[in-house]
Amino acid sequence: MKNILIIQDKGDVWEITDTTIQPDDYVVDPEMVLEVDKALFDFIKGKIHTSQIQYPKDVDGKLIQQDLMIVDYDPVTSHRERILNKGREYISTRLNAVSLFELYEFMVCNLDLIEKGFVITNTNRRKKYLEIVDAGDIDTIDLLERLLNSKDKLESISGWYNQYRTFESDLYKLNDIKKIDNRFKIFVQIFE
């Protein structure tokens, strides 16, 4: 198993936002996660919900505890960060289930249509749809149908992402643990 830190780009530093354990075949994306040894992982896991943990981007080689910049949170901030991480994890699993395949399908179909001379934008889409249908080429019509199906699926999940952004914004306005918990419950109910 791999000990993984979830990270976010904060300019000159990386901020560690969560920890997770993943299977050995898990592919590490250096822009989103960092694999660390068990001792450092356990140390960070013990602090992640009560502290802001960052490290400089210019750290060469293996990350060590001395590289970490740690600022302890007050209890409400700690709880808010924990709930934000739960919300992020909750929405990520839903987005990942649909989006990667559909995004790939959309891009391939769009590029194939461009290659055939049909550059579709929001302003010209109705005209281009009619051009494709009127041309009568079955393969091109099939590409258009696949593109539109993928676009519909991607647009449906964009609503989920927007719901998460609203949830995140709302949490930063709340300074009470019970209100934070209630807002999380409302967020989760949207997807049930």
52 & 86 share domain? no
Over residues 124-151, the mean pLDDT reads 94
62 & 132 share domain? no
What pLDDT score was predicted for residue 22? 86
| pLDDT band per the 50, 70, 90 thresholds, residue 192 | confident
Q: Which of 13, 48, 72 is the last residue of a domain?
A: 72
54 & 8 share domain? yes
Tell me the per-residue pLDDT of 2-39, one tens digit each, with 9 for 90 and over.
899 989 888 889 999 889 888 888 777 777 888 899 99
What pLDDT score was predicted for residue 50? 81
89 & 182 share domain? yes
Residue 65 has pLDDT above 90, yes or no: yes
Residue with the larger pLDDT of the pair 184 and 159: 184
Which of 95, 34, 90 lies closest to 62 in space, CA to CA?
34
Length of the chain (residues): 192
Residue spans of beta strands (DSSP E) within 10-68: 13-22, 33-36, 51-56
| pLDDT band per the 50, 70, 90 thresholds, residue 72 | confident
Over residues 127-144, the mean pLDDT reads 94
| pLDDT band per the 50, 70, 90 thresholds, residue 161 | confident
Tell me the per-residue pLDDT of 94-132, one tens digit each, with 9 for 90 and over.
777 776 788 899 999 999 999 999 999 989 989 999 999
pTM: 0.53
What pLDDT score was predicted for residue 111? 96
Residue 167 has pLDDT above 80, yes or no: yes
The parent domain of residue 42 ranges over 2-72
124 & 61 share domain? no
12 & 55 share domain? yes
Answer yes or no: are the C-beta atoms of 79 and 179 closer than 8 Å. no
Burial 13-39 (b: 16+ CB within 10 A, else e): bbbbbbbeeeeeeeeeeeeebbebeee
